[in-house]
């Protein structure tokens, strides 16, 4: 009888241990199979180019080398390690970046389920993970923030686990902060959350331990701040990472920095309203620090849609312990903590088998499926025409900036808004909108533009068709080129160019 019970407990522990691994492999294979959804942001191209530049020069960029409008001005890359990683796996095709990004997403899911495991049964945990993925997929690109996502989750999850235990965080989280600071500028979020999460630990602890916890969390915060400066740029990484927040009005014009829009139904809106409804219906009681944490995450997600993924993965960690204790899961949670004392051999062997299976599947799939970047950000034919025309100063739309950088062409603008500054980008948007033709022409003259590369439906492109001194040279479904009329050459017009 004793042997039977022991075997049953071990079996359940093995199955629970396999859930995060199975889900991680499943998420990886899903995003690998749908790899093109990760290749729909032009920033990917210049991110890789920065990584290639670092590898070629054996140095870190300290000034801009990719544009003619900001050439030589101070600029640092707060995502240098991610950029180098992408450059290393990029072999002229997009399989490497897709695989690397899919691995990061799979790791995020595995870590997330591991953090939820003490509080929820596998079915509920998988449901929460699925909701988090659905909310976040809109911002899943082959870009540094996705590579940093598992590190973000592990670091903040470690802080929340310490708060749930009413203790202080492990010093082993400090290397994660250093890694995060080199992967992506979002590490400032981790620094910002140390205080509120530490407040929860102090709030919930016995009065006799509060002084000790305040000191411990304070020392950890100082150490984490120091760890975030362990980058090639030192403390400048922290300043550079926060520079984007000084762009003011511009943040309302950049897609991923726009506020959430509830004028039309969205999955985020449904999720947020559903969460509020469930909390009210079930009468969930939260401590003041957890309320502040939850409200802060909601505010971040409402202010900038790029923060929805942070809300999706961190809010469940904030709510997990209160839900477990107040909604009748305490006994299950206690048993689950007991089962996690050791990692069964069967779990290790099954993990190895799944990793090998995923590797074999990846090799076979990649051999049969060439990944393609979203065509709307890939104006290859138009850029060929520009090079034939020997254009030197091209006024381009920001989404084309990444491709131009990848072709070693100096750009007017790309996705590095923090480099160009608020007023420059606002002037760019105003010119692109072409409501004031004089403003457009003034900008083209100010920067001595000899050609434009705009999206085929751009208002500025339509305006240039009718403005004196400019002539259309080429147009296809993706891009349109205009040159100064006294420089236009008929022999540069390709046969495929549109005549209307």
Q: Place 288 in a pLDDT band, splitting at 50, 70 and 90.
A: very high
pLDDT tens figures, 376-385: 889 999 999 9
pLDDT at 485: 85
Nearest-5° angle of CA 25, CA 30, CA 32?
95
**High-pLDDT (> 90) share of the chain, %:** 63
Residues 133 and 142: their CA atoms lie apart, in Å, by 16
Least confidently predicted of 169-173, 417-421, 467-471, 491-495: 491-495
Q: Place 235 in a pLDDT band, splitting at 50, 70 and 90.
A: confident
pLDDT (mean) for 67-86: 94
pLDDT at 14: 54
pLDDT (mean) for 191-195: 95
Provide φ and ψ at 149, rounded to 5°: -60, -45
Q: At what angle do helices 80-89 and 173-183 cross, to 10 degrees?
A: 70
What is the DSSP-derived secondary structure letter of residue 74? B
Q: Place 481 in a pLDDT band, splitting at 50, 70 and 90.
A: very high
Q: Place 4 in a pLDDT band, splitting at 50, 70 and 90.
A: very low
Residue 1 has pLDDT above 90, yes or no: no
Of 228, 230, 232, the closest CA to residue 242 belongs to 228
Residue 10 has pLDDT above 80, yes or no: no
pLDDT at 344: 67
Residue 9 has pLDDT above 60, yes or no: no
- Of residues 335 and 485, the one with the higher pLDDT is 485
pLDDT (mean) for 465-490: 83
Q: Is there a contact between 309 and 135 (Cβ–Cβ < 8 Å)?
A: yes
Q: Place 232 in a pLDDT band, splitting at 50, 70 and 90.
A: very high
**High-pLDDT (> 70) share of the chain, %:** 90
pLDDT tens figures, 236-272: 888 777 777 677 777 777 777 778 888 888 889 999 9
* Most confident range, picked from 108-117, 324-333, 477-486: 108-117
Of 389, 405, 375, 358, the closest CA to residue 452 belongs to 389
Within its chain, how far is the Cα of 138 from the centroid?
Answer: 10
């Amino acid at each position: 009888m004793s042997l039977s019970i022991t075997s049953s407990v071990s079996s359940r522990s093995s199955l629970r241990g396999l859930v995060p691994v199975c889900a991680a492999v499943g998420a990886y294979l899903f995003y690998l199979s749908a790899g093109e959804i990760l290749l729909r942001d032009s920033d990917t191209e210049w991110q890789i180019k920065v990584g290639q530049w670092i590898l070629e020069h054996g140095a870190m960029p300290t000034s801009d080398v990719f544009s003619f409008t900001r050439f030589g001005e101070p600029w640092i890359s707060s995502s240098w390690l991610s950029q180098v990683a992408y450059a290393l796996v990029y072999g002229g095709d997009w399989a490497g970046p897709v695989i690397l990004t899919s691995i990061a997403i799979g790791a995020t899911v595995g870590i997330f389920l591991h953090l939820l495991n003490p509080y929820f049964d596998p079915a509920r945990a998988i449901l929460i993970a699925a909701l988090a993925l659905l909310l976040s997929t809109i911002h899943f690109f082959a870009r540094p923030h996705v590579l940093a996502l598992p590190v973000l989750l592990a670091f903040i999850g470690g802080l929340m686990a310490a708060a749930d235990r009413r203790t202080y965080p492990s010093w082993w989280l400090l290397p994660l902060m250093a890694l995060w600071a080199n992967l992506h500028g979002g590490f400032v979020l981790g620094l910002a959350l140390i205080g509120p999460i530490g407040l929860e630990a102090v709030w919930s602890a016995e009065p006799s331990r509060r002084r000790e916890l305040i000191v411990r969390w304070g020392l950890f915060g100082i150490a984490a701040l120091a760890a975030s400066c362990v980058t090639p740029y030192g403390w400048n990484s922290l300043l550079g990472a926060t520079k984007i927040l000084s762009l003011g009005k511009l943040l309302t014009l950049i897609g991923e920095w726009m506020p959430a829009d509830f004028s039309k139904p969205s999955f985020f809106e449904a999720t947020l309203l559903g969460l509020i409804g469930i909390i009210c219906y079930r009468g969930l009681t939260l401590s003041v620090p957890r309320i502040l944490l939850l409200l802060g995450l909601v505010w971040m997600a409402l202010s900038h849609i790029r923060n929805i993924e942070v809300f999706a993965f961190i809010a469940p960690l904030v709510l997990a312990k209160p839900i477990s204790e107040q909604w009748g899961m305490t006994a299950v949670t206690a048993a689950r903590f007991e089962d996690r004392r050791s990692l069964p051999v069967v779990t290790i062997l099954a993990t190895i088998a799944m990793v090998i299976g995923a590797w074999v599947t990846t090799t076979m799939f990649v051999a049969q499926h060439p990944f393609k970047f979203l065509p709307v950000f890939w104006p290859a034919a138009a850029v060929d025409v520009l090079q034939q025309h020997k254009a030197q100063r091209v006024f381009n739309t920001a989404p084309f900036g990444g491709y131009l950088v990848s072709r070693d062409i100096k750009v007017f603008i790309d996705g590095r808004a923090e480099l160009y500054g608020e007023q420059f980008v606002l002037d760019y948007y105003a010119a692109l909108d072409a409501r004031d033709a004089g403003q457009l022409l003034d900008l083209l003259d100010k920067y001595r533009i000899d050609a434009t590369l705009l999206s085929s439906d751009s208002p500025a492109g339509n305006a240039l068709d009718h403005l004196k001194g400019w002539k259309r040279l080429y147009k296809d479904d993706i891009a349109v080129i205009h040159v100064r009329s006294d420089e236009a050459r008929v022999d540069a017009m390709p046969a495929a160019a549109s005549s209307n």
